[in-house]
Structure 1
């Protein structure tokens, strides 16, 4: 039997039939024909390329494989993604960053039957992936790839790193608030620079979009937190519960801010929740999943309020400085908000709202609100364009 025919027979047997005995039969065929390995890998790269054409990205693929299958399948998928990338076209800095994050660790050695079984299980999943909204990078993204990180973004990263490292919730909240203020001013600076360089009416700078993982447990509360962070940073988020991510639409500098702040706030929220649970247990009160769900929901709600207030205050302060560049600030921001809304509606012409479930623990809500509400928000001098 020729090698391609072996793979064809295995696929006909296993990929379109979910029965266990069909999988075993197909895996036996592949295990008995070592010459079929190269063809099997080539077909896997074709499945990956098809996923890209259907709107998936490297991080999405790794996420869904981890969600639906096991670690061995994640390693197999990572190896296929890395192999396929060698023949793929350049797709922009966000895509390149996702590829860099995909491990190139080779799959663990296994007997040929077990290996073939895992490959077929992975291919079954890849074959059934639905189409996603295409997130082509915004015009000009390739030029930003070589642009060094701004001093403002470096400072924001440093503030959030300190917030994650401190053991004091009040200090963490204060540092996060300062980071949000800097993000707001950085967003203003980026908007003004784009408008000044290109002219408001003819600027080619358009909103981009990215997907951010929203992982269980308590994914509803996490999605609420991400939505709040996006809203405070001039972005919009749409949650896809089935596939464990939210799509965030906004301008590139704002998308960077959302990714940074959401990741940091999750770390801080989980640390604060662990501390609150310890206090509850010390008081003799056993807390459950409902406590944690209520804690994170309250944290997300209150953190969103504080982030919006910090962002609005920073933007208002920038607009009130009297600089000539700020004369166009409000029209620029309004224009960008309209552009974000239009891009969101093109990507998602139909959306639905979801009611947050499991928020029924009063102590969890109180503790979550307190964790997000301890710090004072202090004003800071605005950053000016070019600094």
Structure 2
């Protein structure tokens, strides 16, 4: 198994790599057929600013609070934000982990919950949450975390000169408050005294209002505004159930249709999963055990689909996601087989084998000289698409719990 090792220990450099890794870590399962690009595009549309590696809403406030603390430090070198965040994020990690007894269940969502003092984590909250902080305008910048840190250092060097040049007192006040781009109004100097995972009321209210103001037409915005819709999500056992129950809600018709497409695409991907598992097991173990799983899936398919007639990409996408042309062709062909009711194990198998070899190249398990790198009965490839459902439910639950105080 290929592993990454750091040969450059600059926090700024590492944060650049971390931001790339964040985008590669959606749902944590290797995408053998390239369909994850559609999952991620749909999730970005439904739930902007979120990711599968975000854990709790609290971190959306911890990072800007730490930066505000840094800006108020006296006598610090002006290029130390990276190091300051590195040190403080680990200190807070150890503190929260100890608060919950280093127990994953008790401290659900604490990043690094099992780490004892002096133990470090590879990906810190600042890199995990940076895109979300920008998306929700907690920190107003287009820069990466590393770029923002560098910009902040340069700005601190020239800030005094810039303020002196201001002629209008009101303008100077605005400059003093907003020059760093941090737009979180809930900061308190003593916020660390009662550090915990739950949001305070004013934080929950701030976050909910941001979602409503910035993304009212998205599924996330509708969840923030609709109590009944949120109850559907809170009580659902997964995305499939939620998408079904949401059809009876007050959602706009377009969002309902997009939910139906996302729901049905996820079910189709289950079929691709069973075919891929079948093909690699037949090739490497002469084992046909997954053929039965595919047949069960096929027997139930059209009862599970919500809108088979609209199962094509332009139902959801005004412009197609950035995907390889052969991957776009692959998913179009797959959906066409389902929509026209011409699918079979053999029809899917032809498409899956060609796509996996194109995507994986020399690492393909289906090419002629492929090596066996998995155990018998082990399942590979994506199975269904949750579109960050669990992460978003936790985020919103934190917000609504905070508002209930």
Higher helix proportion, which one?
Answer: 1
Higher strand proportion, which one?
Answer: 1
* TM-score of the superposed pair, with normalisation by structure 2: 0.24
* TM-score of the superposed pair, with normalisation by structure 1: 0.25
Larger RCO, structure (CA 8 Å, separation 6 or more):
2
